[in-house]
Structure 1
């Protein structure tokens, strides 16, 4: 196969700008490709026992922004590498949401962004009800189809996992959840069930639901919170889900006037709600912990009477004001808000005792890392390894990976090198794997030195060795964050042989 550049038909109205999140590693792209390893350069050798699809979502801005642009405002674009029998095929496609199609027809931006929602002139999506549903944050595969969403809550956008064609909102259950689905839904590897939540700015302020392995909505209940909140992730175990209510949310008095000012309340505890997988709001058991915010969890599991929750704690969120009114550099403040060296996040463990109601917690590491990832086969189960990103100081860029062995305490790291920036990694266990780390880690890297992007395949047992294979993509793609791995036998649906995850 030669490299095919598809006629995407995308019309862009972006004008030249000095905005750092529209240039350099964040420069949008508008071409869509199909290319395989007959035409792509491969450095090293792709393992023959690597079987599945590595997919990453990306915010890719198309039109001149309506107001100040935030890097989470752009339209979703998926980048995928399908591995099979030592070969690989790359594809990328826009997620063709209603907002994407409407703005293509209008040839301009129609919705305001995250920083200036008050400029919205039409109904929007997400918890704030003002933004375009860009489906640019999360991506996962469930019941044989991809699911792409924005972080605040959106339609459940379904796509074909192989072609990446947009199929529209899920036809089985999208209409049954009017407040949408937030990012960071979780799939149980054994039952094939998918657990999700949302957090609208109206009572009850949260809902929790379960989609079964056949893509049927089998559970959807209100979970009442004290007010509008801004959670980001959800945890699951074999029998429970863990919901988040942290003291980092919009000022309630200003919210009544339609103003969104995020405030951290250190005097309030963080609360974590443990709910039976098919339980209702009355069965939630709330556990208090020290004040913090959490973006992303590594994993959760049951240990006797306790629920263990591992993730990256943000112990003291700081918000650097964004706005040009006082003449300060607005771009610098956007960077400062995203820079994790200003808002440190470190691996942390919480234990919730279901018998006594007590919470205990401890730091697992003191280095700044985030986006912790574990093998799909160990989600909700006792596990040993987490693979986290390392941040470039002063930037919203990922400079490398860190592997945690949570049993021995040993760590490994692999850094991409100057001018090279990665994305969220994924763990791809090899065909016939028995051990948790018997396989590979995949990641996209954008190389600003050579003006190109690559898909790297690393040894999951020893990431410090560097890539076993490097696949050079047809065009430099913008940096992005969340990704997923779809095992080859999960592409058709959630009907795996139990031996694959036992």
Structure 2
């Protein structure tokens, strides 16, 4: 793909790869376990056209592509399609980029006026037999799970009032309910947040709005068995700055962070705010749960400032990536007490993309997994992704205090976010499925899909599936079993 700027957003592992394709019978080394029968859906941002503005945040505005790696019967295949958003269709029709700076409509070309700006590029979500591609700046798009055809924007049969919906929903393993939120729900730079509950059949049964302490980037949230948790970190938006052609996000080291907590089936009038440390930031949460004493424990990949270099640059924050004091942090609060304080405990290393088995969502979990950097790496990490460097070590965390496990990659290799596949045998930790990238030359890369025993990650992959096409880094993925796919809604 020609015409793209020669900067880190568009070179190396981040080089645009705009092909749509279907490839059957991928080469398999090792054995795909019988448990791993289904589809690994992946959100792969991929710009279709070179930008017309120099926008450091453009990597987050790349057109959404939905990838499906289908596994079962010892075989594997892959397919890739663009998500046919209104934005993507408008640019294809024009034959060029029409949308300007990241989440700033005041910088768009005249032809883009009135066109929905979301690129639906962050997370594939499966619920109630429907596959949705989500990004937090708009409503999701529904995708046919077999053909990957885009079926149109999805608003829960007209019930959704919020203009936005998070890419990080939470699904209760016992009730099958889906919980979500949307920030800037009432429009650009608004402080309104929508909180929604969708029943197991896919019906939006409740949507309530509340005001956040300020307009903030609220990328993720969590639930417990009885509560919904809304973390707010001081990366903020200002409408006048947007009107002047500025950046959507600026981070403020002097502002407090907040954690809002309410009964998950309650009323937003019951929302209670707890004050967190100043200037901190988090994009992804591991889990939250209640203990026997009624305390709420909230586990997150926390850092002392925003993890995106382009946001720190726009904010005038001169911190390097290794100076962010990243950690897996547990915030503990008492929802029944009178204090608004948060107690922080470090429970893991710096890193990101944490996950637990879906069956333990909102409950105490004895273990989890996350990606981090190998402290014994010989040489620099593989460059790529939105923060500029990719992770090269997979960890299994024993949250009961036992020793961790690790799988380190060779130099020039990196992990994309894994998904968890439950095992049929009780007591087995299940399987992790992930895409691994390897640099083979200055501008050449190879890609494989690995299947790893979740309880013995140090042993390496039990199956390696070759992918004979260039891939761009994935953002998030979702595992959908063959049994779930058989229940897909028309």
- TM-score, normalised by the number of residues in structure 2: 0.86
Q: 2:171 aligns with which of 180, 187, 193?
A: 187
* Conserved 8 A contact 2:419-2:433: yes
C-alpha distance after superposition, 1:38-76 (max 9, x if no partner): xx2111111122222212111101101121242112111
For the residue of structure 2 that corresponds to 1:198, the secondary structure is: strand
Partner residue in 2 for 1:3:
none
Structure 2 equivalent of residue 9 of structure 1: none
1:273 Cα deviation from its structure 2 partner? 1.1
Which whole-Å CA distance do the structure 2 matches of 1:288 and 1:123 have between them?
44
**Residue 253 (structure 1) shift:** 6.8
The CA distance in 1 between the partners of 2:211 and 2:103, in whole Å, is 27
1:54 aligns with 2:40: yes
- From 339, 351, 356, give the equivalent of 1:369: 351
**Which SS does the other structure have where 1:341 is aligned?**
helix
Superposition pairs of residues 40-439 of structure 1, within 5 angstroms: 40-69=26-55, 70-114=58-102, 118-121=106-109, 132-151=117-136, 153-170=137-154, 172-173=156-157, 176-200=160-184, 201=188, 203-250=190-237, 254=241, 259-260=246-247, 262-291=249-278, 292-304=280-292, 305-317=294-306, 340-358=321-339, 359-365=342-348, 367-391=349-373, 392=381, 395-430=388-423, 432-435=424-427, 438-439=429-430
CA offsets 1:318-371 (integer angstroms, 9 cap, x no match): 775679xxxxxx9xx99x999743534310101121221443221112x32111
Aligned residues of 2:189 and 2:237 also touching (Cα < 8 A):
no
Cα–Cα, structure 1 residues 28 and 337, in superposed 2: closer, same or farther, change >3 Å? farther
The SS at the match of 2:61 is: coil
Q: Which moved more, 1:129-138 or 1:450-459?
A: 129-138
Q: Is 2:447 the counterpart of 1:461? A: no
Change in CA separation of 1:267 and 1:32 when aligned onto 2, cut-off 3 Å:
closer
CA distance in 2, matches of 1:15, 1:263: 29
Map of 1:35 onto structure 2: 23
Cα distance between partner residues in 2 of 1:266 and 1:322? 12
Q: Please state how far the C-alpha of 1:77 moved relative to its aligned partner.
A: 1.0
Q: 1:240 offset after TM fit, Å?
A: 1.5
Q: Deviations over 1:250-307 (max 9, x none)?
A: 3687468674464444444321111222222201121222222221000111213112
In structure 2, list runs of 5 or more residues that go unmatched: 374-380
For residue 22 of structure 1, give the secondary structure of its aligned residue in structure 2: coil
Aligned CA-pair RMSD: 3.0
- Alpha-carbon distance in structure 2 between the residues aligned to 1:337 and 1:75: 30
Q: Which residue pairs with 1:4 in the alignment?
A: none
Contact 2:251 2:311 in 1 (8 A): no
- Equivalent pairs counted in the alignment come to 465
Structure 1 residues 307, 456: closer, same or farther in 2, change over 3 A? same
Hey, what's the Cα distance between the residues in 1 that align with 2:198 and 2:118? 21
State whether residues 240 and 277 of structure 1, in contact with CA within 8 Å, keep that contact through their aligned partners in structure 2: yes
In structure 2, what is the equivalent of residue 488 of structure 1?
A: 482
Structure 1 CA distance, aligned partners of 2:270 and 2:389?
Answer: 39
Name the CA distance, whole Å, in 2 between partners of 1:203 and 1:101: 28
Distance 1:320 1:298, change over 3 A: closer
Distance 1:41 1:243, change over 3 A: same
Q: Does the Cα contact within 8 Å between 2:143 and 2:151 map onto a contact in 1?
A: yes
Aligned partner of residue 192 in structure 2, secondary structure? coil
Residue 199 of structure 1: how far off its partner (Å) = 1.2
- Equivalent pair of 2:22/2:78 in contact (CA under 8 Å): yes
